Amino acid sequence: MEPETNKNQKTLHVLKLVIVGVLCFAVLVFVFGVGVFVGQERAGFSFHWAENYHRNFGGPKLGLFGNFPDRDFIGGHGVFGSVIHIDGNSIIVKGQDNMEKTVMVSEQTTITGPSVTMKLSDIKINDNVVIIGSPDEHGVITAKFIRILPQGLLFCRILRG
């Protein structure tokens, strides 16, 4: 009788392990589901809050200046245009409204092309670029990110006029 009791105890032990495993898996699935739900709710709230930003703060729908033309403002934190000169770590870009901007490239600058990471030496004259960075007191932009756009991109020609 003892071998049968021992066999029943082993079966009971295996059954307990299976039940504990299934319960642990169910708890993990539940916690993951709660995390996904909370993430979706937070993202939805952020989206709707940003969509109604001006209304949330009691301002006009189009912002403080209404439909104010922004062509007179110079974008200090970036430039979009064609490369017209390269000298060492310095690039001069002819941006919108034919404004020339000087951009300094450092080792921390990320340079990307259509699908790959690139180097400063890959940038050529007449390349269309989008540059994001920080201006210094002299108006020179220290680039943090440079995106080289494919040649012949239609909106590049439209924006340049």
Instruction: Summarize pLDDT for 22-75 with one digit per residue, the tens.
Output: 999 999 999 999 999 999 988 887 777 666 665 555 555 555 445 545 444 455
Question: pTM of the full predicted structure?
Answer: 0.50
Half-sphere exposure of 105 (CA within 13 A, CB side): 20
The range of the structural domain enclosing residue 96 comes to: 78-160
pLDDT tens for each residue of 121-133: 889 998 888 888 8
DSSP conformation class of 108: T
Alpha carbon 34 to chain centroid distance? 26
Residue 111 is assigned to a structural domain of this protein: yes
Same domain flag for 29 and 85: no
CB 120 within 8 A of CB 89: yes
Residue 10 is assigned to a structural domain of this protein: yes
Half-sphere exposure of 5 (CA within 13 A, CB side): 2
Q: What is the largest CA-CA distance in the chain?
A: 97
Residue 63 is assigned to a structural domain of this protein: no
